[in-house]
Amino acid sequence: MSAPRQLLAIVLLGLTLLLTTGQAWAAEPSPALPALSPADQQRADKLAHGLRCLVCQNQTLADSNAPLAHDMRNLIHAQLADGRSDAQIMRFFEDRYGDFVRYDPPFKPITWLLWLGPFALLALGFWVLLRTLKRRSGRRAPLTADERARAARFLDTGS
C-alpha cells in the first residue's frame, strides 16, 4: 500500500473512532438532578435563553442539542437546586467562559467596541457619502478660450 493510501486509511480510522466515541458520550445519561419547582424551572428556562451555546454559537442553550449545551443546562439546574440567584449563576458562567457566553453582553469598557462599533461605522459611512456627494456637486470652472477652440476642432473633425 502506498504512503498516501496509508495516511488516508489512518485518517479515516481516526475520524471513525472520534465520531463513534462522541456518539457514545452524547448517549450517556446525565446524573439525576433534583426536581425544580415550577418557578425555578421558569428561571432555568430564562437563564438558558440568555446564555449562548459555545458549540453552536448562534443558538441559546435552550435551543441547542449539543452535549455541552446539555451539560450547561444541567449546571443551571444544579445551581438553582442549590439556591443560587440568577445573578450568581450568570456570574458563574461569565467567570468560566467570559462575556461571550451571554447573548446580551454587558456594557463595560471591554465591550464598548461591540456595542458602539456598528453606530461608529454607520456614522463614518454617512460622512463619506456626504463628502463624496459634496465633491461631485461642486461647480467646475468654465472652459478657457483655448479649451473651447480645441473642443470645437475635435467636434468638427471627429478626432
Q: Are 103 and 52 in contact (CB under 8 A)?
A: yes
Query: What pTM does this model have?
Result: 0.54
The closest of 133, 134, 154 to 143, measured between CA atoms, is 154
pLDDT digits (tens, 9 = 90+) for 127-158: 999 998 888 877 777 889 999 999 889 898 76
Q: Are 12 and 54 in contact (CB under 8 A)?
A: no
pLDDT digits (tens, 9 = 90+) for 22-40: 444 443 445 567 778 888 8
Q: Dihedral of CA 40/59/63/30: which sign? A: negative
Q: Residue 150 has which C-alpha cell?
A: 480645441
Does residue 19 register a pLDDT over 60?
no
Q: What is the pLDDT of residue 119?
A: 94
Q: Does domain 33-105 have CATH number 1.10.8.640?
A: yes
130 CA to centre of own chain? 31
Domain boundaries, the chain: 33-105, 107-140
Does residue 15 register a pLDDT over 90?
no
For the chain, percent of residues with pLDDT exceeding 90: 31
